[in-house]
Amino acid sequence: MDRIRQREWNVRALIGQHIRVGPNRFRVPDLCVFSRDRAIEPVFSKPPLVLIEILSKDDSLQSMEDRIDDYLNFGLPNVWIIDPAKRRAWVCTRGHFEEPKERILALPASEIRIPLDSLFAELD
């Protein structure tokens, strides 16, 4: 997510931000997107707008299930998984991973729309 879009959408994207998903449980997702109106905390205690996990070659969707459950139980409204090797993405809800319609990751009630073909073209 480039800086121009971050300003346009009034959001910030942070890599490797610690999140407290439970009283004694922490996660460090690949990317968090949150409103610019929100202060940056050393460890997030409230859910960001969207959280993105990027699969590495050793990851699988199944291996992500515990992490995704933690995020959803924490109250995250939007969790996305991106697989750059297979050029695929999923929107995660409790017990369900669904590929986005029209290959566009979209944040409900916002202007945030990320066409997967454009995203993956940047990797080439």
Q: What is the pLDDT of residue 59?
A: 86
- Residue 10: the pLDDT is 93
Domain that holds residue 75: 3-121
Count how many domains the chain has: 1
CATH number, domain of 77, equals 3.90.1570.10
| H or E stretch at 6 | helix 3-9
| pLDDT tops 90 at residue 40 | no
Residue 9: predicted pLDDT: 94
pTM: 0.90
Residue 57's pLDDT is: 86
Strands 11-15 and 43-44: unpaired
pLDDT at 88 over 80: yes
One-letter amino acid identity for 101?
K
61 vs 68: which has the higher pLDDT: 68
Tokens 């999923």, located at residue = 90
